[in-house]
A and B are shown apart, each in its own frame.
Chain A
Amino acid sequence: MLRGFVEVTVWDRDGKVVQRGRQEMRSFINNFLKILEALFRAGQGSATTTTLTDTGGSSKTVYVEWYSPGVGSGIDYAGGTPMACNASSGDDSYGIVVGSGTVSLALDQYSLASKISHGTSSGQLSYGPMTFEDLGLDQTVSPPVYRMRLIRTFINLTSSAININEVGIVARNHWKNAGSVIIDVRYLIARDVLATTYTVPAGGGASVAITIEVEVG
């Protein structure tokens, strides 16, 4: 039904590619399934929730369907979305994230083993904005596949090399009511331990591209 590939490219301060690799994702986890299962129960015009573990390790109730009761006067500004990943530059709380941990994958994990934070201090990487590519339908393979790609760039603005051993995807469940945020939960939906350590030199950078393939038809 669904599989994916992780591609990591590392370049030095001169922009020269010094390391590149690709491996199959092993990695969608329970939180991802819980959102899909909640969608199984949604669509009847009433709130539908599920409980998952956020990136801080707390159990959280999130919505996949939700309706504001209305504010009676003024404007409600209510609505939301269940599984967003389009984080902006500098935001390491969702989207593709990277880490230095090597702990093996388990489906009940909720965070990277050791996330590398956004920043310019020692051990940090500067997170670029998420970008998305709709690669469309490929009918030259059997069965045909539809491909989509999530990409993020990380720049090392510190004076030391930084090792990347794991990558993940964090999604955001965000709903508003009466202009205020009522649910804003970040939760890990995929994690991969990389087969190789990728070393980002000082002044260099890395890009992580996750291609998701859905078998169709």
Chain B
Amino acid sequence: MRVRAELIVESDGKEVFRGESKSFLLNFCKVLYRMLATTGSATGSVTGVISSATVTDTSGYSQTAYIEWYTGYMYVGGGTPAGMNGPDNDDSFGIVVGSGSASVSPTDYRLASKISHGTGSGQLDHDTHATTTSFSSTSSYIELARTFVNRSSGDVVVREVGIVARSLWKNNGGVANDVRYLIARDVLPSPVTVKPLGVLVVRYRITLTT
């Protein structure tokens, strides 16, 4: 049995690609490793970073992403190591799409050519994310999906998709750690053209079977 990741792309309600996503990246591995390798046992007055991973953020900088962390101040503290729920109109994390076709490398830290959120030429309106789950004793899956709408007057061509995660930790009401890092990137076998007012849906589905 493997944990399988599947990529599904729909354009205007029609499935245009379905295949295995083999393109989880070095950043994902580093965070998963550090997530498992931490203790989860800080007690009493322990503060600071208990575990972290060194990742390359979407700007190409080496960054420390917190995995387990405790505030040392009196106001709001806490966070998450790998959130993927980019909100409406936010193209900085969650599922992202691009027009580049450069081959995937394990060390990729961004899409080759990201399509920004917006309504201008070459842009796509980034919607909220949706999740779907199905759990049973023999077969289960989870799915993360995002919708993109072309509100410009010209075609937008999508050749690559990916997932950007966010390590976000707050300390004393401020932000202690906020790192966006690419964890998956897939180049589509054929480009998908999103027409004006066309709708693109990208789904990452992770499946377990006995």
Binding site for B on A (CB under 8 A): 1-3, 24-30, 32-34, 36-37, 39-45, 48, 64-88, 94, 104-108, 132, 134, 137, 139, 143-144, 146, 148, 150, 171-176, 179, 181, 212, 214-217
Contact = CB atoms under 8 A, between A and B. Distances in A.
Contact of A85 (B21, B36, B94, B169): B36
Contacts of B133: 33-34, 37
A30 B208 contact: yes
25 contacts: A1-B24, A1-B206, A24-B1, A37-B133, A39-B80, A43-B84, A48-B80, A48-B83, A48-B85, A77-B46, A79-B42, A79-B69, A85-B36, A86-B37, A87-B39, A88-B39, A105-B210, A107-B135, A107-B138, A148-B33, A172-B41, A174-B40, A175-B78, A179-B45, A214-B28
B78 A44 contact: no
Nearest to A1: B5
Contacts of A105: 210
A144 B45 CA distance: 42
Contacts of A88: 39, 41
Interface stretch (B101-109, B111-119, B149-157, B190-198): B101-109
B65 to A, nearest CB: 12
Which residue, of A25, A45, A175, A212, has the highest number of chain B Cβ atoms within 10 A?
A: A45
Contact of B45 (A69, A75, A150): A75
The 6 closest A-B pairs by CB, nearest first: A43-B83, A84-B40, A65-B80, A42-B83, A81-B68, A79-B70
A82 B140 contact: no
A34 B206 CA distance: 11
B208 A28 contact: yes
A80 B165 CA distance: 18
Interface in B115-172: 129, 131, 133, 135-142, 144, 165-166, 168-170
Interface of B: 1-5, 20-26, 28-29, 32-33, 35-47, 50-51, 67-87, 93-94, 104-108, 129, 131, 133, 135-142, 144, 165-166, 168-170, 173, 206, 208, 210
Nearest to A169: B36
Given A39-B82, A78-B70, A84 B35 contact: yes
B93 A107 contact: no
Nearest to A214: B29
A80 B76 CA distance: 13
Nearest to A65: B80
Given A77-B72, A148-B32, A216-B26, A43 B166 contact: yes
A2 B2 contact: yes
B3 A68 contact: no
Given A25-B1, A75-B45, A179-B45, A40 B76 contact: no
A24 to B, nearest CB: 8
Which residue, of B1, B67, B170, has the highest number of chain A Cβ atoms within 10 A?
A: B1
Nearest to A42: B83
A45 to B, nearest CB: 6
Nearest to A130: B37
B194 to A, nearest CB: 23
Contacts of A174: 40-42, 68
B101 to A, nearest CB: 15
